[in-house]
Amino acid sequence: MTYNSLGDFIAELEDDGNLLRVSAEVDPYLEVAAITDRICKSPGGGPAVFFENVKGRSMPIVVNLQGSHRRMCQVLGVESFDDVAARITGLIQPEVPEGWLETLKLVPQIAQLTRLPPKIVKTGLCQQVVKMGRDVDLRDLPIPHCWPNAAGPTITMGQVYTQNPQTGVRNVGLYPLQVRSGDALSVFWNAHQGGFRNFTRYQQERRQMPVAIALGGDPVYTYMAAAPFPANTDECLLGGFLRGKSIELVRCRSIELEVPADAEIVLEGLIDTTAPLESAGLIAEPTGFYALPCEQPVLQLTALTHRSNPVFPAMILGKPPMEDFWLGKATERIFLPFVKLFVPEIVDLHLPRAGAFRNLLFVSIRKEYPGQARKVMNSLWGFSELMVSKIIIVVDEGVSVFDEEDVWFHVGANVHPGRDVVFCEGPTHLSDHAAPVLGMGHKMGIDATGKLPEEGHPRQWPEPLEMPHEIRERIDQRWNEYGFQS
């Protein structure tokens, strides 16, 4: 389903009984985050929450918009994440048509690609109110200050729009933006991300870098910005594919970039790439810890535009489970076809919640030759978004990677530590405080598959205990007859 605005999505959630309105006054300093943290950790992820009365601000805040499986599927317009994966599989691995009738069936798939590119429009609701220069004041926005030791309020749901100065290709990312003053933000990105790569290109040319930050619009934009889309590819193409309709973009008022016309709020600004990076204060990470102090570029704002009655969307980062878990879970399922395209022996993969989508990765494979588990580990570390996976565990195809206890059972049963544990050195996530050097450290692979003689196991490998299918069916049918309750 395509949403014409964030308001449309909020209205649908309210009609479904999946949004809670809070009329009592709440403080953007810690209180909003503390409430959201408790809601996100409730069974099922809790409802979306609309704070109508934010202390000292005229604008409401909405949180936990995508904080459940159901709501994330609503954003994507599907019943299951696998529905999107199936659409992607049909595009990258279409069945070879056997005749002209089968060929005609491919026409709708091909036609939808022509609707993907974004369209530039002359006006947008995101520019109903325009503030320029000295009139820009971030204190007008209800930006939550989420954790007590954080250096300041942080924008966590801003779609950050930048552009490659050489090719003109747009990049959209989801990066934390910490308030430094009424008109300046620290941009938290790292060397693995497209926004930072564009920053280095502007540095090389010693040019000011235009940056736009959009909040709201069709909620699929947030996922679009967070998704690991291939480098040098416009994320707005992914957004158009997911919503089945082109994204309408409007030109910014003070810089040469475009943003979604249906956004709630837009911040525009410039980074002086010739200026030294400035020390950024503590900021929360999805790992459940504060990020270590670092130096980041400063974005000087030049304009702030918004709808006449905007809503400020926020996503609180903290120890899992939080709202961002569902963004990551959608990515896990949606991008699995791309991973399988390059590593075809993979059956499935799972990023456990406890691993904060970077510390643990479970993979099942169809094992056919010696050393295949190690080959898969190295292949996965070769993907840009999986290269920071700290621990990869590989199991056989009969093991469900979603049954985390069963995965650990096979680690305990099948692993000989001196043989089946692999260490390698390479890039780590900047939020990995355990790495001795920022952005560089060790990763571990654990081969929990059954072993072949060629893998250094001279003894016979035992068969697992397994009850025949017909016996299991028989006791299912007779369970009540035995006197047990179903």
> What CATH number does residue 400 fall under?
3.40.1670.10
Residues in the chain: 486
Looking at residue 111, which CATH number applies to its domain?
2.30.110.10
Which of 57, 31, 71 lies closest to 312 in space, CA to CA? 57
Could you tell me if 370 and 284 lie in one domain?
no
Structural domain for 275, as ranges: 6-314
Q: Which two tokens stand for residue 143?
A: 């930006």
Q: Which residues contact 303 (CB under 8 A, 6 or more apart)?
A: 130, 131, 132, 133, 136, 252, 253, 254, 255, 266, 267, 268, 269
- 327 is a domain residue: no
- 324 is a domain residue: no
Q: How far apart are CA 232 and CA 228, in angstroms?
A: 12
Could you tell me if 63 and 126 lie in one domain?
yes
Could you tell me if 280 and 387 lie in one domain?
no
Exposure string for 64-76, b = 16+ CB within 10 A, e = fewer: bbbbbbbbbbbbb
Cis amide prior to 286 (ω within 30 degrees): no
- 398 is a domain residue: yes
Q: Which residues pair with 119 in a beta bridge?
A: 248
Could you tell me if 268 and 153 lie in one domain?
yes
- 463 is a domain residue: no
pLDDT in the model for residue 96: 45
Q: How far apart are CA 367 and CA 345, in angstroms?
A: 7
Could you tell me if 129 and 243 lie in one domain?
yes
Give the model confidence (pLDDT) of 38-75 as tens digits.
999 999 999 999 999 999 999 999 999 999 999 999 99
Whose tokens are 């003053």? That residue is 181
Tell me the chain's radius of gyration from C-alpha atoms. Answer: 24
pLDDT along the chain (486 residues), means of 10: 91 97 98 97 95 97 97 95 86 53 44 70 97 96 97 96 96 95 94 91 96 97 90 88 92 98 98 94 91 90 98 96 93 91 95 91 97 97 90 97 97 96 90 88 97 92 93 94 86
Q: Whole-angstrom distance between the N-terminal and C-terminal Cα of the chain?
A: 39
DSSP state of 452: P
Q: Which two tokens stand for residue 319?
A: 């120890």
Could you tell me if 206 and 138 lie in one domain?
yes
- 469 is a domain residue: no
Q: Is 393 helix (H, G, I), strand (E, B) or coil?
A: strand
pTM recorded for the entire structure: 0.90
- 448 is a domain residue: yes
CB 151 within 8 A of CB 178: yes
Could you tell me if 382 and 428 lie in one domain?
yes
Could you tell me if 256 and 386 lie in one domain?
no
Could you tell me if 286 and 163 lie in one domain?
yes
Instruction: Report residue 363 CA to chain centroid gap.
Output: 19
Which of 384, 318, 426 lies closest to 173 in space, CA to CA? 384
Q: How far apart are CA 377 and CA 375, in angstroms?
A: 6
**Tally of structural domains, the chain:** 2
Beta strands in 119-190 (DSSP E): 119-121, 129-132, 154-155, 159-163, 170-174, 177-181, 184-187
pLDDT in the model for residue 97: 45
Could you tell me if 182 and 237 lie in one domain?
yes
pLDDT in the model for residue 346: 97
Which of 47, 46, 43 lies closest to 10 in space, CA to CA? 47
pLDDT in the model for residue 13: 97
Could you say which of 265, 296, 314 is where a domain stops? 314
Q: How far apart are CA 90 and CA 78, in angstroms?
A: 16
Could you tell me if 13 and 155 lie in one domain?
yes
Instruction: List the 258-260 sheet strands across, edge first.
Output: 119-121, 248-251, 258-260
- 41 is a domain residue: yes
Instruction: Tell which phi-psi region holds residue 331, choosing left (phi > 0), alpha (psi between -120 and 50) or beta.
Output: alpha
Which of 310, 311, 327 lies closest to 62 in space, CA to CA? 311
Could you tell me if 298 and 168 lie in one domain?
yes
Q: How far apart are CA 402 and CA 61, in angstroms?
A: 34
- 473 is a domain residue: no
Q: How far apart are CA 423 and CA 418, in angstroms?
A: 11
Amino acid of residue 181: S
Q: How far apart are CA 259 and CA 249, in angstroms?
A: 5
CB 231 within 8 A of CB 183: no
